[in-house]
Amino acid sequence: MTKNVLVTGCAGFIGFNLSKTLIKENNNVYGIDSLNNAYDKKFKDLRLQNLESENNFQFISNDLSDEDSLNDLADIDIVYHMGARAGVRQSFNDPLSYIKDNTIATTNVANFCKNNNISKMILASTSSIYGNSGEKEMVEDIDEKINPPSIYASTKLSGETLAKTILSSHNTNLIITRFFTVYGPYGRPDMSILRFIHWIMENKEVKIFGDGEQRRSFTYIDDVVDLLLKVQDCDSNETFNVGNNKTSSLNEVVKIIEHFSNKKAQVVNEPRAFRDPDVVLPSLSKSKNTLKWEPKTNIEDGIKATIEWYSSFQDKIKDFTYIN
Ligand SMILES: NC(=O)c1ccc[n+]([C@@H]2O[C@H](COP(=O)([O-])OP(=O)(O)OC[C@H]3O[C@@H](n4cnc5c(N)ncnc54)[C@H](O)[C@@H]3O)[C@@H](O)[C@H]2O)c1
């Protein structure tokens, strides 16, 4: 059945890939984005150009922290709130932008859902709220001892809490999806895999903060989109981890890129970033049992596909800005 779906952050990495799949599956997609300057806007223009070539896509250029930003929308069935200001390191320098784009914007989206009796709101959240996991797998039911290690994580956690409070006892079903380090085509230039691919392909220095032994639950974008579609069938208010329980270190990622690009990386190690966790491990039991979902793409296949995408746009995107 065709649905009217609102995707916030549609010019961002995850919102874009999600919108493409929703359109392919015959939904009408209304995409909203403020095209903020968190990283080079040319990446957002590239994604938006692609979306605007689709018939059942409509773009709204608005800032969700503006209370009236959603006033003109009617007859929306589902809201995917993917819009946010992401990035852990930058958040320490600019807390107010993170409060505006994550906490205030999420409050406005939740209020929109409440006031318009939207049946489902799917809210993007992050593994960053867990901090360093050590060997312990992080489960979704966090307790009061949680202590978000960054401004980014604090504003995302407050977005979760506000959406829960606003929508409790209302008709909107709230699903929170906590993503673990997502990568893939049309990715973000401030995240390690795309930066590393760019630096290695263009014979530039590959900067690694720390010794590169920190491990991440790298999760391929198609697996994330797959889960985002599956949660449409979940009718209770739930929180799901969206990750990969096979982690990789940054050094392993560099080796895989070297292998598929047939190039040698010139690695330069710099001081470790403030409060950078050693490892963040997800528990996937709930996503597996409730949604019958698990990540299907291994890191080698995911990186190979991302390098192929980079190569197909290389002339255009090699001169875009990649954040250190
Ligand atoms: N990519 C990851 O690894 C990852 C991991 C954990 C959580 N997340 C979460 O997933 C979501 C999507 O992340 P992404 O990687 O696609 O990031 P992104 O920065 O590529 O996309 C976010 C988009 O939201 C837009 N936006 C920001 N503030 C806005 C506002 N006030 N009004 C309208 N639009 C606004 C931005 O312009 C951007 O295009 C975010 O909620 C992020 O916190 C991402």
CA Rg, the chain, in Å? 19
Choice from 97, 182, 223 to test ligand 1 binding pocket (greatest atom count within 8 A of CB): 182
The pLDDT score that the predictor gives to residue 236 is: 96
Contact call for residues 86 and 125 (beta carbons, < 8 A):
no
Distance 32 CA to ligand 1 centre (A): 12
The pLDDT score that the predictor gives to residue 1 is: 83
* 83-108: pLDDT as tens digits: 999 988 889 999 999 999 999 999 99
Distance 213 CA to ligand 1 centre (A): 26
DSSP letter string, 286-324? HHHHHH-------HHHHHHHHHHHHHHTHHHHTTS----
Helix (H, G, I), strand (E, B) or coil at 101: helix
Domains in the chain, start-ordered, CATH in brackets? 4-187+219-244+280-296 (3.40.50.720)
Q: Is the CB of 44 under 6 A from ligand 1?
A: yes
The pLDDT score that the predictor gives to residue 278 is: 86
C-alpha dist (Å) from residue 176 to 149, 220, 234, 282: 20, 19, 11, 15
The pLDDT score that the predictor gives to residue 144 is: 56
Question: What's the pTM value of the predicted model, to 2 decimals?
Answer: 0.97
Q: Which of 39, 152, 183, 322 is catalytic?
A: 152
Those residues of the chain that have pLDDT short of 70 are 143-145, 324
Q: Which helix (H) or strand (E) holds 7?
A: strand 4-8
Q: Is the CB of 295 under 6 A from ligand 1?
A: no
Two structure tokens written together for 12: 């961002």
What backbone torsions phi and psi does residue 268 show, to the nearest 5 degrees? -125, 120
* 134-167: pLDDT as tens digits: 888 899 987 656 788 899 999 999 999 999 999 9
Residues present in the chain in total: 324
